[in-house]
Amino acid sequence: MADIQMAELRPGARQATLAFKVLRRATFSPERAAAARRASGPALRLYAGDHDAPTFAFIHAATQLFATLTRPNSPLRSLLRAPAGGAPLHWLLFSPQASRLEQIDAFTAAAIIRAVATQDATRDSGDPQGGVVVELVGADTEADTTPEAQLALTEALIDQVWRDVSALSPPGIAAGDVGAPAVQAAPRARTTPAEAARQRREAFLSRNWPTSITVGERLGANHPAQRAADLRAAGRILGAWSAPARTYVHPDCQFDAAGQPLEAMRALLQLLPADGDPGGWRRVFWLYGPREALGGRAPADLLASDPGAVLVLAEAEFGPQASPAEGTAE
């Protein structure tokens, strides 16, 4: 008898808990699921099929998918804001191969869960090729609160899940963008490491980041270039040397709309190693590299919206507790 694998994330006061369960296909019903939902409180659940027990592959895939679903700007968050037909969002179907997330009703969900549980394709690998049913148990759905308040509570739930799960999500799905899946590049000529670095640097230079003079002018300085140099020296902003322009340019992610340096840059630049990097490019590359711990986003993407996550990542990599003496880390 094929059974159903379920991964469940439940936020708690301090931390979320992650559980993997097997549900009996024969007894699974939307009514039972609803009862369990009321009993459990807020949770995010994934359902996929397997013949006996949660497999490592399923656990691996589930943790990836939790991160994909809850990260900033995820499709789930978009659907929350604008659910189809205005109905509360409880059930969704995620199709990994099509990278699509759609709202479904309870009975469709139950039918898919039962059907997926019988698919041979999912049994051995644990890979949810047939689609994963996602159940979102919002915050206090039974309470007499306004839809806006419930939405805010549910978003807070997703935020917490995101913070917790992004700390352990493995690379892969989480690094991709569900709405715009990455397409593997066509075979290309091999470039040397130095050439690859040069190409990357030139790509950044083509972004026309503000020069020292521009940075200083935006701040109303009498000596704009000197003002930018002072800010670099004080560890308030990061500059990258542009040989063609014979000046520093400054990644725009570190400024607010008024041109003021983001406060988080002060702490971040204390963590990122500056030794051996007078031109700033090592730190620029780090800033713009998509990261597993950020759900596939780059630190530059989150500096303004979630600086805490960026600082946690930098601390983990470069802080005093980051021990390179382990030899290996796993």
Partner 1 sequence: MMALDLTDCVLDRVALSVLEDDAHWHVFDTRYPPGAPLDVQALNPNPNSRARFARPTAGVGMFYVARRERTVLWETVLQHASVDAAGCVCLHPSHRTHQAVVALQRVAAMPVTCLDLRTPHRYRWVDQNTPRDQAWMASLIVLENYAPTHAPAENAARQCAAAGTVLQAIVWPSRRSSEDYAAVYYAPAGAAVPWTVAGTPCRLDSAEGDTRLADRLWDDGFTWVGDPAADPDAQPIPGVL
Q: Is 221 in the site for partner 1 (CB under 8 A)?
A: no
Q: Is 109 in the site for partner 1 (CB under 8 A)?
A: no
Would you give the binding string for partner 1 spanning residues 262-291, x where CB under 8 A is met? -----------x--xxxx-xx-xxx--xxx
Answer for the pair 210, 250: CB distance below 8 angstroms, yes or no: yes
By CB under 8 A, the residues from 22 to 61 that bind partner 1 are 22, 52-56, 59-60
CB of 183 to partner 1, least distance (A): 7
CB of 27 to partner 1, least distance (A): 17
Would you give the binding string for partner 1 spanning residues 145-184, x where CB under 8 A is met? -------------------xx-xxxxx---x------xxx
Whose Cβ is closer to partner 1: residue 97's or residue 199's? 199
Cα 65 to Cα 174: distance, rounded to the nearest angstrom: 7
Q: Is 20 in the site for partner 1 (CB under 8 A)?
A: yes
Q: Is 82 in the site for partner 1 (CB under 8 A)?
A: no
b/e string for 242-279 if b means 16 or more Cβ within 10 A? beeeebbbbbebbbeeeeebbebbeebbebbeeeebee
How much of the chain is helix, strand and coil, in % rounded to 5? 45, 15, 40
Rounded (5°) CA angle 63-12-139: 90
State both tokens at 82: 């604008």
Cα 160 to Cα 15: distance, rounded to the nearest angstrom: 8
By CB under 8 A, the residues from 228 to 247 that bind partner 1 are 228-229, 241, 243, 246-247
Closest CA to 230 of 216, 240, 220, 218: 216
By CB under 8 A, the residues from 311 to 330 that bind partner 1 are 316-318, 323-330
Q: Is 1 in the site for partner 1 (CB under 8 A)?
A: no
> Containing H/E element for 7?
strand 3-10
CB of 174 to partner 1, least distance (A): 12
